[in-house]
Structure 1
Amino acid sequence: MTVLNAKLKSANNICTYVLLLSKCVSTECSTVHTASSSCPATKPSMLNVHLVPHTHDDVGWLKTVDQYYHGDRNNIQHAGVQYILDSVIDQLQKDPARRFIYVETAFFYRWWRQQSQNTRRIVTQLVNEGRLEFINGGWCMSDEATTHYSAVIDQMTLGLRFLNDTFGECGRPRVAWHIDPFGHAREHASIFAQMGYDGFFFGRLDYQDKARRMKTKEMEMLWRASESLTPPLADLFTGVLPNGYNPPEGFCWDQSCNDAPIRDDPDLEDYNVDEIVQRFLNAAFYKTNHIIMTMGSDFQYENANLWYKNMDKLIKYVNALQAKGSKVNVLYSTPSCYLQELNLANLTWPLKTDDFFPYADDAHDFWTGYFTSRPALKLYERLSNSRLQTCNQLEVLGGPKSTSGPFGEGDSDTMKRAMGVAQHHDAVSGTEKQHVAYDYARRLATGWAHCEVLVRNSLAVLSGSESPRVFCENLNISVCPLTESSQKVLYADFSKLIHTIKVHSLLNYNLSFFFNSLSVLYECVQSSGQDFSINNKSVLMYAFKFLKVTFDDTTGLLSSLTNLETNQTIRLTQNFYWYNASSGNNKESRQPSGAYIFRPNSSDPFVINKTAEIQIVTVSSTVQEVTQWFSPWVSQVVRLYEGHRELELEWTVGPVPIADGLGKEVITRLDTDIESSDYFYTDSNGREVLERRKDYRPTWDLKQTEPIAGNYYPINSRAYIKDDKHQLTVVTDRSQGVSSIYNGSLEIMLHRRLLYDDFRGVGEPLSEPGEFFDGLVARGRLLLTLTPPNMAADVHRPLAQGMVLQPLLSFQDGTPLANTKLEVCRGSFSGLQDALPPAVHLLTLSQWDKDSVLIRLEHQYQAKESKTHSQPITVNLQKLFSTLEVLGASEMSLGANQWKEDMNRLQWNTAKASKPLPLSAKDPSPWENRQPTDHCTSQSECSIGVSKPGTDS
């Protein structure tokens, strides 16, 4: 048998494989056309205007996914996606020059299932000819601030696989298309590059950044999206669309538009061809003789005849002027065809290495509120992602009986689709109407119900016990009827980080369960307690051997944090505050805070209470707790666990009071004596970390107009401040907004309750009702670590992964039967033969088809982040799993829709990155030319000995 080694040669690398378990299968697809052969001819001596007919179909926003698809509840918004696709397919058949792009696979998947074989043949032919082109191709167009990279990769894979299975190579998207998300993350660009995309286009750009780029003709650039991956592996050509994603002013011809149609009969009144043609011939802010024009908008083309009839005329009359010397050529096109022309121009493009956060569309309009909006939904989405990974992995480890076993029929597909929809930029972002938020949560619950059956079946196979299992959904408030009523309880813990199932038997004592993210103690144990040490000056809480925390005896607030391993101590004061939300009556601007926009009416927050009432709770040999009460609606439990290097802060906020007529943005602030010098650090979608600086942007001279909101950034898993000696890292359990307004300070927004809509379309204030309609109560956890900067990653990386991939607990009444595989009080099953190296994470393990599984191995550390763990690592795939016999493997692109060796991305000439601007800079530094970078060839950074699909293993 061939030994298969996965070599993760660079830090922060993700390698994707299909492991062949019983026989080699082929997913090769016939290629009817290439991108170049299907593109319309352009005229090199002219200005070529690429008209891109498109529709932007939100996978839920003002209406639910179902309502948008069917065209229901049009009193909220007139939109029916099924009619858009019907109409477009009809119109494309009438003229071979016409083209259309489609983005949201979640909608197309629904529509395709309802079509006749004849319609499917027509659509397939349109795809083969390049006239219907899929762009982006994920299940949705995901948000970029509040999504975790693992969930983004999953939803992209879900959509790309459907397109590949349905249309083969001709359905593979070549361009990423994020025209509506509210700011753009570097990690998303890195993901798209590793998935084989040639380029990326988006519509929303900070108004100051856009003005500068338009002036300097830098609306298109090469985005170097990773500091760890060797260029050009994570390089992505990126373009800002000139009109956002709308048509040019005056050229909207949808039934929802009011622009005049082209009236081209000179015998009739209001002939306007000359006027419209002249208006169209305006200059644009781009470097080549090619311009892209988005011809469409939200849910347009329900009557595609309106659009195509007028665009046909526009093309006809503008191009007719070429006979009179005009140098403008208009044509139907697609983003990939436009991108191809830019590549052929062989120009040198500016290089970008940071990201596009925060986003503002005007001086007082910063879209930084949605980083925190709907905190409960954000947490539920994160927990659902963890449960989906459990479901995927147990489906593989348990074998065929997982989906059809003693507990009935289960599946992972329902949960995959629900999580795919939840990544949408108006879903986990919290920017949807309330009834739509309920629908997203309902879908996740339904998905888990399907997965729950699968998990029960799989655990029965792996444990040998078919006794009914219970998943206690209210463990966060220590409620589980089974453990409260049974004399003896058997519970199983499935940890996705080490892929271990451990089964435990507990006598019914009043226990609180806690788990290290990497290991679990399992014994028949009884709790034992000890007292806190209390003296005249402070309340001391000792963490056994790693951490010490002190509380001020006057205020009841945290006062210091000590790392006992490194003998480091910092002053640490933590409290809760709120910003009063602007109601829009400020003389500077009428912009209020809302679901999208964060705009406090003052730069100084209000402290909820200057003191905290301390209650000393249970202290045992394994956990020490202090409960702090700041007000009737804000409390916190401070915990230290035996053997842990982190301090846990479990906060509870809500219902946020609004009787004073003011909306509130609630934060917690950590004030320290760390000399952070206006710098702080945030993760990008849970992966690489970026440096932030107060009142500063790396690529332009910022004119700061909102000193608080303009300094907020998204965090998905962690943020930190540091100086030469100390680093304080905060790990979060969901996506939130963060900033460092003061030196040595880190503030995190936890909850928002607002009284006004922010005029961005959602049409209602963000004031979630909660269980009893008094306002939402949100609860969450922050983990704090104190380390020297050069040791920090080794601590906070595993903590962050543990927060994302939490163990799943299941409970059974009684003890195992005599013929089970497990001892009464302990037992375990591991899906891995050996533990993976600390730097390697099994990101994906899911059933691909009957004979193969999809795996992704991830190098978790950035280059130079860890002296110990940022080194290359080799993993033997053949000896990886305990229940799977691996006969062969093939490496794929990150999206698993293309063989890695077949990836052939466009090459681009790049300029050197400009130096960061000093605060006093007035103009950007000039670009310096250099030679073109080497193209990403078939030599893989994750090289592996493979057996080719379609050949014998």
Structure 2
Amino acid sequence: MVILRHQFTMKIKTTRNIFVYCIIVCLLVSVVVYISADLKPTFSLKQKSIYKKRKLDKQLNFQEHSKLSEIHSRRFEIKYDKKCSFKIDSTPKSNVQVSNVYEELNFDNSYLNTVWDSGFRVKIDYNKWSNKNKLQVFVVLHSHNDPGWLYTYENYFNSFSGRILDSMVLELPHKAKRKFIWAEMSLFALWWKDLDEYQQYTIKSLIRRNQLEFVTGGWVMNDEATTHWISTVQQMTHGHQWLKMHLNYTPISHWAIDPFGYSATQAMLLKRMGLKNMLIQRVHHVVKKNFAKELHLEFLWKQFWDETGETEIFTHLMPFGSYDIAHSCGPNPSVCRKFDFSHIPKVKWPWKWLLKWVRSVPEAITDDNVQELSEELLEQLRKKSMLYKTNVLLVPLGDDFTYITQTGFKGQFQNYERLFRYMNSNPEMNVHIKFGTLTDYFNTVHLDKKDSYFPTLTGDFFTYSDRTNRYWSGYFTSRPFYKRMERELLSYLRAAEIILTLTRLSENMSLKNLKQETELTNLLSDARNILALFQHHDAITGTSREHVVDDYGEKLFEAIQATYNIILQCTTLLLLPSWADISASSSRHFDIDDVRYSFDALTQQYTIDMVISNKKEIVIFNSLPYSRREIVRYMINTPYVQVLRNGEAIHCQILPVYEQELIISTSMYIVSFIANIPALGLQTYTINAVAKNELTWKTAYSLINILNAQSNEEEHSVFKTTAVPLNSSDKFKIGNDRIIVYFSKRGILNGISIDDYRMPIHLEFARYSSKSSGPYTFLPRQSAEPIEINAPAVKIVKGPLLSLITVQLPYVEHTVIVYNTTGGDSVGLEMQNIIDIRKTENFELIMRINTDIKNKGQFFTDLNGYQLIRRKWYDKLPTQGNYYPMSTMVHLEDKTTRLTVVTDTPLGCTSPKEGQIEIMLDRRVMQDDYLGMGEGILDNHLTRQTFRVVLERKLPICKVTGDNYPGGFPSVSAHAASQTLLFPLIRILKNDNDNLEITNSYSPVKVEFGIDFTLASLRPNVIIDGNYGTGIVLHRQYLDDCFTDEALLKRFPQSSGAVRLHELLPYSKGHVMLRKSSLSFLSAHEVIDFEDNIELCPMELQAYILFK
């Protein structure tokens, strides 16, 4: 909770001053007592202080302020049964704040040669160890397996991963002290299904004897920059549920050695899943060197708002440049290479001597060399241990796809066992070294030191750099076509899970009646497999070879089709009248109006043929837990229609379809209308074809203006089209009753007006050119060059429900839309870009939005759609080092104004100048960046991206966070725009001439959620303690109310901090049990009354399991 602190400046010169000061102190103490008694919450106090003490803004009258004060006070009168660990009115209480580290470091790279060639220069303190305080070393064998990169997922399994696991299961049982860890469950599950009963028993025995540990347990080792937090939860849960079902296993420690940067959101999710420890590797080399110097390589990572430490998770940062064996035993790679016994060269003298002279080469441990090599290894171990605060040392032993043969395992185990025997038997070495698992290491650290011994840390680790000016910020945008496709699959998969769960819970849809149960469950599992797989750090990132990307694309395409089938069959079941024969649901009666004819093509809409049938029934599904009023559009082949809801005609608008740049089609049109869809609901509408003379005023036709070109209007066109001479008007505008958008004569945005306040906002497109950028890295050689725009034809379409402009620019078909609704689509303007850079070379396309906002070099980006973090443009870093991931939004603000850009596609962004947002849209690079992929990006596709631009004025003297608070929060409008963009209404078409009778609507919801609550998942078939239930994931987003007026509060009401699931889901009283659980449903906690309030603190994330 937040208290807005007022500063009092006093000089105590007389007794009267002292008396006044004492009175004020007493009053403040009274307020504290008042709060602690919970008579009124601090939120309410904050709001009253805002509205009572500020001077009224000139643009707002006193009555408006009074109403706002009333509304805000009502909203924030919340009482929690528990204390929330949520404090944002001051700087987080952490020992290390990453943004402060960036402020302090010079990034001069002066030490690079000592780090990357020879390692850190570390001085050993031999007094650190003794016979009673030995250095405890855990050597942890691992093999990093990418489920797709240079080869496809299946090829990697067949040629590498399957063979590695075969070798492992043959080698580990020989000795109980030999251990191994495995991370990628997608590959392990593929291997497991072909094991015989004895082999499966062997694996279970290895787990029971603590010889085999599953680290993280996710389906993949996911990327942390471009992923959405719900997708991450999906992939983690998919892996954890597999482990629970097949091995009854619960992971404890997280292993993330290869993602290219790390998000605080990932740490939060892991903590909520019950994991205790984390290991990370790819952190900016300068930051890592600083952490090593300050002994901060192990820390307690927590969230900005966490006051009490409930989100803390113990984190180990590997100190050197790579996770391979050469960079694991100590700071000198040339020494550490000698201790990779998995590949001992089979060469003889003199070639062996020559090879050793050129490069360090491992040789088998014998009685003749064991002393020398033990001492050499121990020196490296001691140097590495000097970088940590404890006497416990982790030494990972592995690399990409290591141990493909049993010989590799034997070489490591046998030679290290000889080293262990020698070192452990010589007391003067003061070391105890053995094989271990990752959790063995962490457990020993926790025994050695309490958590309070380690520093706390807040912040994230973007953007990653492994050497001078080589920043891994290109992958934030690489292959945006597939990044967008992943978001589409997420939306459809989430909707499929929700509608299937609602069908299963519905009174007249018991499992014995649902004949398609197995089929639908299998389809859902298949779709989850693919969504989870694509979270891999070389999949959604766009950093795999072209044929592998094609394979991912095919899989995404098939997964989306699977979700379609689930949604359509459940739609049929939920809309069947109670008296209908349920067997009718086995036939296909509907289609999703979002068709993709191949995996690499843009989605299209069906053209509804009103000639075949004068009547077309359509259904719209809303997967969000609150009702929505938004524009939907359908393609039709006649302009003479009316739209009916429950038998009554509603307003609709007919828009043109252009066959060529300026030729309006006479066989295709767009009908748009405002869909009013209940929470978690289905609503039926009807489009009727009518004679022209039967049309009513509720069917409106768009007015069309053509700028910079002559109109090609046909005589029989239903649209009034006007060609506007170039000299007649330099500017034009479109808008609704709240927002007006201004454009230049070239059709480019140059201003936005909201509530009588106008801000110049200039849009431009530009390009970076470089022969050094690659799939991972962005390495511009010079500033971006603006793309020249001459005088393109501008199409302006206006109507009562929506207005738009479209202009064809070089490389981009650019459209701006303003909707006239009360939904999340109308809080700002919408931009749609169809991008085509297929004919370019070394071309990185950007979009810039220039404003008058005085942001002082600071801007905010989101972390995985879960939270916002403050960024800053640093002149000491190159452009590529100032780029950050933008998973869902970015915003600028000053004392009076905020501009937010919401995206449906994860991309990279920055703010290079005051008042400017720069977003990279697509990139085509002809060369590799020498990071392993071996090729550039030459498979660009026609790509569609949608943005929503929200301009907001700040309420006077309103303050949510402290001055130096390193995070931020979206406004109500920005959150509404993002949620409705990411999870759009699903358009469903009933088949022509289908006689199935359906009801008008369906919704189980009795009381809607507030917009601050997210229903992240309704997951059927969660298994716990041998029982199957429905997994529920809820999140409460804290929203910045300094941009919230009375009208917005009415349009997007927020919760009181509590919800009741029995008011959201269909259920029978007395037949359900609700239990709180870990986020991935591995452990169930206390039982909760299903009819009780579920209270969530701001930014809290909680899972539940519903048993019926």
Q: Where does residue 773 of structure 2 map in the other structure?
A: 593
Give the secondary-structure state (helix, strand or coil) at the position aligned to 1:797: helix
Q: Where does residue 557 of structure 1 map in the other structure?
A: 748
1:287 is displaced (CA, Å) by 1.2
Q: Where does residue 254 of structure 2 map in the other structure?
A: 176
Deviations 1:840-880 (A, max 9, x none): 12111121258521111221226888887887522112232
Structure 2 counterparts to residues 577-588 of structure 1, below 5 A: 577-581=766-770, 583=771
Matched-pair identity in % = 23
Deviations 1:35-78 (A, max 9, x none): xxxxxxx986111111011111111111111001111xxxxxxx
Contact 1:242 1:293 in 2 (8 A): no
Q: Where does residue 416 of structure 2 map in the other structure?
A: 314
Q: What is the rounded CA distance, in whole Å, between the counterparts of 2:410 and 2:675 in structure 1? A: 60
Q: What is the rounded CA distance, in whole Å, between the counterparts of 1:808 and 1:145 in structure 2? A: 27
Pair 1:880–1:380, CA change in 2 (3 A): same
Q: What is the rounded CA distance, in whole Å, between the counterparts of 1:406 and 1:130 in structure 2? A: 36
Contact 2:370 2:418 in 1 (8 A): no
Contact 2:278 2:313 in 1 (8 A): yes
Structure 2 counterparts to residues 708-727 of structure 1, below 5 A: 708-727=879-898
Deviations 1:862-913 (A, max 9, x none): 68888878875221122321366661111101111112469xxxxxxxxxxx
Q: Where does residue 390 of structure 2 map in the other structure?
A: 288
Contact 1:634 1:654 in 2 (8 A): yes
Q: Are 1:511 and 2:670 an aligned pair?
A: yes
Pair 1:504–1:623, CA change in 2 (3 A): closer
Contact 2:490 2:531 in 1 (8 A): yes
Q: What is the rounded CA distance, in whole Å, between the counterparts of 2:559 and 2:222 in structure 1? A: 19
Counterpart pick for 2:622 among 482, 495, 509: 495
Q: Where does residue 461 of structure 1 map in the other structure?
A: 573
Counterpart pick for 2:226 among 125, 146, 171: 146
Counterpart pick for 2:1058 among 856, 874, 891: 874
Pair 1:486–1:62, CA change in 2 (3 A): farther
Q: Where does residue 376 of structure 1 map in the other structure?
A: 481
Structure 2 counterparts to residues 607-646 of structure 1, below 5 A: 607-611=786-790, 613-631=792-810, 633-643=811-821, 644-646=826-828
Q: What is the rounded CA distance, in whole Å, between the counterparts of 1:884 and 1:114 in structure 2? A: 42
1:529 is displaced (CA, Å) by 2.0
Give the secondary-structure state (helix, strand or coil) at the position aligned to 2:592: coil
Counterpart pick for 1:386 among 486, 491, 508: 491
Q: What is the rounded CA distance, in whole Å, between the counterparts of 1:69 and 1:447 in structure 2? A: 21
Q: Are 1:648 and 2:807 an aligned pair?
A: no
Q: Are 1:62 and 2:150 an aligned pair?
A: yes
Q: What is the rounded CA distance, in whole Å, between the counterparts of 2:738 and 2:431 in structure 1? A: 70
Counterpart pick for 1:544 among 729, 736, 739: 736
Structure 2 counterparts to residues 597-746 of structure 1, below 5 A: 597-602=777-782, 604-611=783-790, 613-631=792-810, 633-643=811-821, 644-658=826-840, 662-695=841-874, 703-704=876-877, 706=878, 708-746=879-917
Q: What is the rounded CA distance, in whole Å, between the counterparts of 2:1043 and 2:215 in structure 1? A: 38
Pair 1:571–1:84, CA change in 2 (3 A): same
Deviations 1:732-786 (A, max 9, x none): 0110000000000000000000111011111111111xxxxxx522221111000
Deviations 1:403-461 (A, max 9, x none): 71899996201000010101000001100111111111111222233332222211111
Q: What is the rounded CA distance, in whole Å, between the counterparts of 1:315 and 1:337 in structure 2? A: 18
Q: Are 1:187 and 2:265 an aligned pair?
A: yes
Q: Where does residue 402 of structure 2 map in the other structure?
A: 300
Say what the alpha-carbon RMSD is for the aligned residues.
3.5
Q: What is the rounded CA distance, in whole Å, between the counterparts of 1:292 and 1:440 in structure 2? A: 35
Contact 1:223 1:238 in 2 (8 A): yes
Contact 1:574 1:670 in 2 (8 A): yes
1:473 is displaced (CA, Å) by 3.3
1:337 is displaced (CA, Å) by 1.6
Pair 1:866–1:891, CA change in 2 (3 A): farther
Contact 2:85 2:307 in 1 (8 A): no
Q: Where does residue 574 of structure 1 map in the other structure?
A: 763
Contact 1:470 1:812 in 2 (8 A): yes
Q: Where does residue 831 of structure 1 map in the other structure?
A: 1004
Structure exhibiting the larger radius of gyration computed from Cα positions: 2
Pair 1:901–1:99, CA change in 2 (3 A): farther
Q: What is the rounded CA distance, in whole Å, between the counterparts of 2:1102 and 2:541 in structure 1? A: 38
1:179 partner letter: I
Which moved further from structure 2: 568-577 or 312-321? 312-321
Which moved further from structure 2: 860-869 or 633-642? 860-869
1:198 partner letter: K
1:47 partner letter: L
Give the secondary-structure state (helix, strand or coil) at the position aligned to 1:115: coil
Contact 2:796 2:806 in 1 (8 A): yes
Contact 1:490 1:816 in 2 (8 A): no
Q: What is the rounded CA distance, in whole Å, between the counterparts of 2:795 and 2:887 in structure 1? A: 32
Which moved further from structure 2: 637-646 or 807-816? 807-816
Q: What is the rounded CA distance, in whole Å, between the counterparts of 2:1105 and 2:884 in structure 1? A: 45
Q: Are 1:417 and 2:529 an aligned pair?
A: yes
Structure 2 counterparts to residues 81-96 of structure 1, below 5 A: 81-96=161-176
Pair 1:513–1:720, CA change in 2 (3 A): same
Q: Are 1:234 and 2:311 an aligned pair?
A: yes
2:164 partner letter: I
Higher helix share: 2
Q: Where does residue 23 of structure 2 map in the other structure?
A: none
TM-score by length of 1: 0.81
Q: What is the rounded CA distance, in whole Å, between the counterparts of 1:363 and 1:174 in structure 2? A: 36
Contact 1:831 1:883 in 2 (8 A): no
Unaligned runs of 5+ in 2: 1-78, 88-129, 329-335, 346-358, 505-510, 577-583, 597-601, 640-668, 688-697, 706-721, 959-969, 1088-1096
Q: What is the rounded CA distance, in whole Å, between the counterparts of 2:81 and 2:701 in structure 1? A: 47
Pair 1:800–1:504, CA change in 2 (3 A): closer
1:549 partner letter: V
Contact 1:9 1:872 in 2 (8 A): no
1:230 is displaced (CA, Å) by 5.1
1:98 partner letter: R
Counterpart pick for 1:899 among 1081, 1084, 1093: 1084
1:489 is displaced (CA, Å) by 2.1
Q: Where does residue 846 of structure 1 map in the other structure?
A: 1019
Q: What is the rounded CA distance, in whole Å, between the counterparts of 2:146 and 2:674 in structure 1? A: 39
Pair 1:245–1:425, CA change in 2 (3 A): same
Give the secondary-structure state (helix, strand or coil) at the position aligned to 1:173: coil
1:657 is displaced (CA, Å) by 3.4
1:571 is displaced (CA, Å) by 0.9
Pair 1:371–1:104, CA change in 2 (3 A): same
Q: What is the rounded CA distance, in whole Å, between the counterparts of 1:209 and 1:65 in structure 2? A: 34
TM-score by length of 2: 0.70
Pair 1:499–1:645, CA change in 2 (3 A): closer
Q: Are 1:480 and 2:480 an aligned pair?
A: no
Contact 2:633 2:670 in 1 (8 A): no
Counterpart pick for 1:780 among 939, 945, 956: 945
Q: What is the rounded CA distance, in whole Å, between the counterparts of 1:12 and 1:884 in structure 2? A: 36
Q: Are 1:809 and 2:987 an aligned pair?
A: yes
1:716 is displaced (CA, Å) by 0.5
Pair 1:650–1:256, CA change in 2 (3 A): farther
Q: Where does residue 470 of structure 2 map in the other structure?
A: 365
Which moved further from structure 2: 847-856 or 452-461? 847-856
1:805 is displaced (CA, Å) by 1.3
Q: What is the rounded CA distance, in whole Å, between the counterparts of 1:333 and 1:408 in structure 2? A: 42
1:237 partner letter: F
Unaligned runs of 5+ in 1: 14-41, 72-79, 584-591, 697-702, 769-774, 903-938
Contact 1:391 1:451 in 2 (8 A): yes
Contact 2:621 2:677 in 1 (8 A): no
- Give the aligned length: 833
Q: What is the rounded CA distance, in whole Å, between the counterparts of 1:241 and 1:200 in structure 2? A: 11
Pair 1:830–1:870, CA change in 2 (3 A): closer
